[in-house]
Structure 1
Amino acid sequence: MRERIQQLDIEGCDGHDAIFEASYLDDIPAALTEWKASRVLLVVSTSLDTKTSVIRDLEKSLSSYQVYKKVGVGSHSPYGDIIDIARRVQDRDIQAVVSIGSGSYSDACKIAVMLSATLPSGFGEDEMEALVDQKRGLAGPDTVKAPVTKLICVPTSLSAGEWNSYASGTNATGKKQHYMHPEGAPSLILMDPTVARTTPSHLWLASGMRAIDHFVESFCCSECHEEAATHIKKGLPLLVRGLKEYHEGQEDGNEDELLKGIAESQRGSRDALIPFIKWKIPMGASHAIGHQLGSVAGVQHGVTSCILLPPTLRFTLDKTKAAQEAILQIFNEVLGCHEAEAADAVHRFVKLLGLPSRLSEVGVTQEEQLHKIAELTLTDALAHNKALPDKEGILEILNMAK
């Protein structure tokens, strides 16, 4: 059922809405009309542009607007793509950016609209890095200005980053850096199951695992409290059930079940980042290591979660037993299984979905790679989290993931 809500009940989100079971062909023109935005930049997935009619149909519906288009953004939002988007915004006086794609697209566009308001036209990587506190891997909020360009995000994944005022990009050295402003969330999020349906199943399912990682690491954090846990206990079962329905619908050729699974997963994923966004409850080792596994070895974020979340749960079990018991109960109930530990339940789900579960499956086998990932993790934006392991502990998790 179609539903329009404020994205999150937090400061800076007034006027930032989301629509579930949206119709992108109707809702994008309606928003542009409301904002009186006539100059529009589309930043769209290469596969959507070349292999489906999604973008062509949108361009037809925007025939009365001055529309520009950038096709393709690299994995993990490379600085080069961010700079390209920001320069187009600045040089063409773009009033609204429309991102249609995965988390790499929404992150690149979020940073680009922040930087187009912050830095002078013609800026480059040096100016971007000058905004970053290198010890924390974070730019903002004081060094970053609020966006003035509207941003619509139509997600084709479940990584849930679009709900966040934070976004990350990868610099020329392969380091993932984070940018934020309290008003950095998109102006409008459109959850359209028919657009998400075009995403290849392995990418959709992997992004769902990323959102599961958000839920699980928030729950396992010592700072997690009852109100945050309520969101997790509401959203995590929805997400797991939705992914299961999607997978079963695909296996059985049942389109209705598949679309129902997409819609349910999209609703569940909204709660995935609320503990972090609203209460700054930090993510843990799976995220910190995953950021750098992604940038060093080019492993998709959802796949990093598939590989790293189970060993992270095993490594932290002694300190997070109560949270892991609650997580285990959710997985066992939704999946109808009887696993003894949360790590085993998550690993079982990854295998059920047919996703990689080992570093060896994504070509990360060299000790040199593991040590580089561990070193970079120590300066990740999450490294200030005192619960994160030291280099030896990071390597132990990586070795369990081999």
Structure 2
Amino acid sequence: MLEKKRVQQLDIPSREGYDAIFNSNFLEDVPAALAQWGSSRVLLVSSKTLAAQHGDRIAALQSALGSHRLANTKLGVGSHSPYADVRDIARRVQRLRADCVISVGGCSYSDACKAACLLAANLAPDFTEEDMEALVDERRGIADARPEDGTPLRPRACRLVAVPTSLSAGEWNALSSATNARTGKKQHFGGWEGGGQPDLILLDPELAAATSPERLWLSSGVRCVDHCVELMCNPESAEGRCEGLHGHAERGLRCMLGGLTEYKAAKTRARGAGEKQQQQQGTQEEKEEAGDKERQLLLEGVSECQYGSREALTGLLIWRVPMGPSHAIGHQLGAVANVMHGVRLLATPSPSPHSRALISFKTRPVSNLTLPPLQITSCVMLAPVLRWQAANLSNPHYKTAQAKTLAIFNETLGWREASAADAVERFVRSLGLPTTLRDVGVVSDEEVRRIADKTMTDVWGGGKRQMEFDDVMEVLNSVRG
């Protein structure tokens, strides 16, 4: 059995009173929190796919909350937290006078709920998407104050519980992201000082293992790998004020590499075991015992990944060292090209010049796709960004950080790769995930230029911070596929 552990989300003053529970049982811990807070008008926002495929778990939560607490349920939030869904949640919060919002799902759900709770406290009940956009300071790429006088936005008026079912790790961040469907731009809401983060984060390995599609878990885990690597590679992380940052990022990277590898192996063994059980002799008790051992290994892999997801963002959230170009480009790749929305990935053998692995992908448009959107932008962008940095940047920190990144990959996975970029690409391919723009349906020159253009105003790495427009175009063109 995995031991439940309650911790403060981050070891900083602004997170005092904001906890996370690792190895949680969400059906126990959600009602306990609501009872402690005295919450009586609860809005539940849950993954539509989870409700459709694992409705018993959502029904169990609804039953545990009881009709005297549960005021409303919203099923479904679009990929990359569209403004329309954020506005819908905010209006429900306002109309119901909700005193607690519970998010059950991936990063799109937690981001939408964080942004919605903030906007519900700051905009009129009939607010429009134009009102949302008007709050954004395009120069800084963030909405944290009123544009007319610079007054900080009011904190949300309700509690927020996040029950993540992926590894995107957005629940740890006080900031939230949402996408303007009209412009295709992903915007960021909230402030660095905190207040936007959930009151409680519940990391339930059982729930994640049972409900998260394998590809979603793996791809969102690569997102955490991206967090760790870009924090380590940012020259700001070497400043004296950031003592301790690299320790968190390195632990997070080791956890993610080990946990994702064990998760993938356990899933693969489980599929093979299912086929063998139909052929092998043995008592039902022996078969169940073997199944229990495999399930425990799977849960241990999931739990290790969940620990790693927190470590992956600690450098950003405590020391405020920003992510880099992979995140900036990835935000706009997801928003402009709507990556994974209406695209199904089909594995086919294809050699790669950068990796010994042979898994690649073709894409096929699919109408009315019901699979959950996947956080796969990091799978495509991290390796080429590392290659560009190694070839073009003179700051010695990049060389040192990439060498450390490479060492962690090789030590953890028993590899002998020659560069950090090659190690990242090999790892992504080993998980069966895409590595080129063509793999995810981005083929037109116009789309590529739009992605590069919008990257320039992204809060995580555009403009003069690390790359110019032509640099971003070079990186994108290097992975056209």
Give the TM-score, by structure 1 length: 0.98
Describe how 1:51-200 pairs up with structure 2 within 5 A. 51-52=53-54, 53-63=56-66, 64-140=68-144, 142-171=151-180, 172-181=182-191, 182-197=194-209, 198-200=211-213
In the aligned structure 1, how far is the partner of 2:464 from the partner of 2:223?
A: 22
In the aligned structure 1, how far is the partner of 2:435 from the partner of 2:70?
A: 45
In the aligned structure 2, how far is the partner of 1:401 from the partner of 1:126?
A: 35
Residue 139 of structure 1 aligns to a residue in which SS? coil
Query: Which 10-residue stretch deviates more, 310-319 or 333-342?
Result: 310-319
1:236 to 253, 265, 276: 253
State whether structure 2 residue 303 is matched by structure 1 residue 263: yes
Describe the superposition over 1:309-349 as per-residue Cα deviations: whole angstroms up to 9, x where unpaired.
00000001144110001000111111111001000001010
Shift of 1:213: 0.5
In the aligned structure 2, how far is the partner of 1:299 from the partner of 1:66?
A: 34
Q: Which residue of 2 aligns with 1:362?
A: 440
Query: Which 10-residue stretch deviates more, 149-158 or 249-258?
Result: 249-258
Q: Which residue of 2 aligns with 1:208?
A: 221
Query: Which 10-residue stretch deviates more, 62-71 or 167-176?
Result: 62-71
Query: Which 10-residue stretch deviates more, 33-42 or 173-182?
Result: 173-182
Whether contact under 8 Å (1:282, 1:385) holds in the other structure is: no
Describe the superposition over 1:243-263 as per-residue Cα deviations: whole angstroms up to 9, x where unpaired.
000000000013221111100
In the aligned structure 2, how far is the partner of 1:128 from the partner of 1:399?
A: 33
1:309 to 382, 398, 402: 382
In the aligned structure 2, how far is the partner of 1:313 from the partner of 1:381?
A: 19
In the aligned structure 2, how far is the partner of 1:173 from the partner of 1:143?
A: 25
Give the TM-score, by structure 2 length: 0.82
Matched residue type, 2:376: V
Shift of 1:365: 1.3
In the aligned structure 2, how far is the partner of 1:328 from the partner of 1:144?
A: 42
In the aligned structure 2, how far is the partner of 1:393 from the partner of 1:326?
A: 24
In the aligned structure 1, how far is the partner of 2:462 from the partner of 2:217?
A: 31
Shift of 1:121: 1.4
In the aligned structure 1, how far is the partner of 2:52 from the partner of 2:158?
A: 27
**Runs of 4+ deviating beyond 3 Å:** 383-387
In the aligned structure 1, how far is the partner of 2:316 from the partner of 2:440?
A: 29
State whether structure 2 residue 337 is matched by structure 1 residue 297: yes
Q: Percent identity?
A: 48
Describe the superposition over 1:15-59 as per-residue Cα deviations: whole angstroms up to 9, x where unpaired.
110000001100000000000001100000011111112101101
Describe the superposition over 1:224-270 as per-residue Cα deviations: whole angstroms up to 9, x where unpaired.
03411011122210111000000000000132211111000000110
In the aligned structure 1, how far is the partner of 2:460 from the partner of 2:259?
A: 29
In the aligned structure 2, how far is the partner of 1:92 from the partner of 1:119?
A: 15
Shift of 1:385: 6.4
Cα gap change, 1:343/1:106 in structure 2, threshold over 3 Å: closer, same or farther?
same
In the aligned structure 1, how far is the partner of 2:5 from the partner of 2:264?
A: 25
Query: Which 10-residue stretch deviates more, 280-289 or 58-67?
Result: 58-67
Structure 2: runs of 5+ lacking an equivalent? 146-150, 271-293, 341-373
Describe how 1:16-35 pairs up with structure 2 within 5 A. 16-35=18-37
Whether contact under 8 Å (2:462, 2:468) holds in the other structure is: no
Whether contact under 8 Å (2:325, 2:462) holds in the other structure is: no
- Kindly report the root-mean-square deviation, in angstroms, between the aligned alpha carbons of the 2 structures: 1.3
Matched residue type, 1:173: T
In the aligned structure 2, how far is the partner of 1:91 from the partner of 1:375?
A: 38
In the aligned structure 2, how far is the partner of 1:66 from the partner of 1:286?
A: 40
Shift of 1:12: 2.1
In the aligned structure 1, how far is the partner of 2:70 from the partner of 2:258?
A: 42
Matched residue type, 1:116: A
Residue 177 of structure 1 aligns to a residue in which SS? strand
In the aligned structure 1, how far is the partner of 2:462 from the partner of 2:320?
A: 13
1:333 to 393, 398, 411: 411
State whether structure 2 residue 266 is matched by structure 1 residue 249: yes
Query: Which 10-residue stretch deviates more, 198-207 or 383-392?
Result: 383-392
Shift of 1:194: 1.3
State whether structure 2 residue 248 is matched by structure 1 residue 219: no
